[in-house]
Amino acid sequence: MAFSEEDVEKIANIITDSKYFIVFTGAGISTESGLPDYRGPEGVWTLREKGLKPKLPRKPMHLIVPNPSHFAIFDLYKLGFLKYLISQNVDNLHIKSGIPIEILAELHGNSNRMKCLTCDTRFLKSEIEWDDYIHGKGYRTEMPHSNQPRCPHCNGRIISSVVNFNDPMPEKEMEDSEKHSRMCDVMLVVGSTLSVFPAANFPIIAKNSGAILIIINMGDTELDRLADIRIEAKSGEILPQIINKVKLIS
């Protein structure tokens, strides 16, 4: 454990003193749920760049559940501190933990959600009876299958909400993330190497707008130089301790 009780108390005090606190998460927050990250030492892209085969999730995706990190962030929402959550993750675990979709920007989409290419309405796969085995993944760059469900609102083409390489970023999520990054006085970054842009611009925007920037990650990040507090720790170990301290002092 590379953090101290003093670190926990300092971060808890910053959160409880904040006026507009937001969180930014990356794949590292989900490794304790059994999912590989992307840019860590054993990450998907790290291994591929070395010519090695990436590790697979420990369980089928539908059996992957939130871990203490996700529930700690949800606790911050329930306690009234968390105003907005920006995530690079497509694993649906923040929503499974209880975070309302209204305060969540999933910058790279959600593997469980589809969207209309025309009117941008979002759907759970179950809502439109989308079956990957029958209809395919529905990625933007794939040729649509004739049997794929159409948008019930405008009859537009439905695609996966997941943002793949060379896909455009989702406009609403990007606009909302920039707005909240400029509004916040504290941003907590958890489990991201902050090496993927344009997502990694948001901590920069927050910092340039006067926010306190806290980074918790296993391994270096591209923005460590900007952090007011930088902690090397597993999120599932430190975040529950921070929550317990927040509950004591709030």
If phi > 0 it is left, if psi is from -120 to 50 it is alpha, else beta; for residue 30 that is alpha
How many structural domains compose the chain?
2
The pTM of this model reads 0.90
State how far the Cα of 33 lies from the Cα of 40, in Å rounded to an integer. 15
Catalytic annotation, residues: 108
Same domain, 245 and 200: yes
First to last CA, the chain: 25
User: Do residues 91 and 30 both lie within one domain?
Assistant: yes
CB neighbours of 74 closer than 8 A, spacing ≥ 6? 94, 97, 98, 99
If you ran DSSP here, which 8-state letter would residue 64 be given? -
Give the contacts of 58 (CB within 8 A, at least 6 positions apart).
Answer: 34
> Domain range spanning residue 117?
112-161
pLDDT (0 to 100) of residue 54: 52
Q: Answer yes or no: do 127 and 179 share one domain.
A: no
What is the predicted pLDDT for the residue at 47? 41
The per-residue pLDDT for 144 is 87
Q: Name the pairing type of β-strands 82-87 and 104-106.
A: parallel
Please report the pLDDT score of residue 46 as a whole number: 47
The confidence score (pLDDT) of residue 40 equals 54
> What is the per-residue pLDDT for 58?
62
Same domain, 127 and 173: no
pLDDT score for 128: 94
Q: What is the pLDDT of residue 34?
A: 86
Residues 129 and 67 placed together within one structural domain of the fold: no
| Extended strands (E) in 175-234 | 186-190, 212-216, 229-231
- Identify the domain boundary among 99, 128, 161: 161
pLDDT in tens, the chain (250 residues): 478 999 999 999 999 999 999 999 999 999 998 877 555 555 444 444 555 555 555 666 677 899 999 999 999 999 999 999 999 999 999 999 999 999 999 999 999 999 999 999 999 999 999 999 999 999 999 988 889 999 999 999 999 999 998 899 999 999 999 999 999 999 999 999 999 999 999 999 999 999 999 999 999 999 999 999 999 999 999 999 999 999 999 8
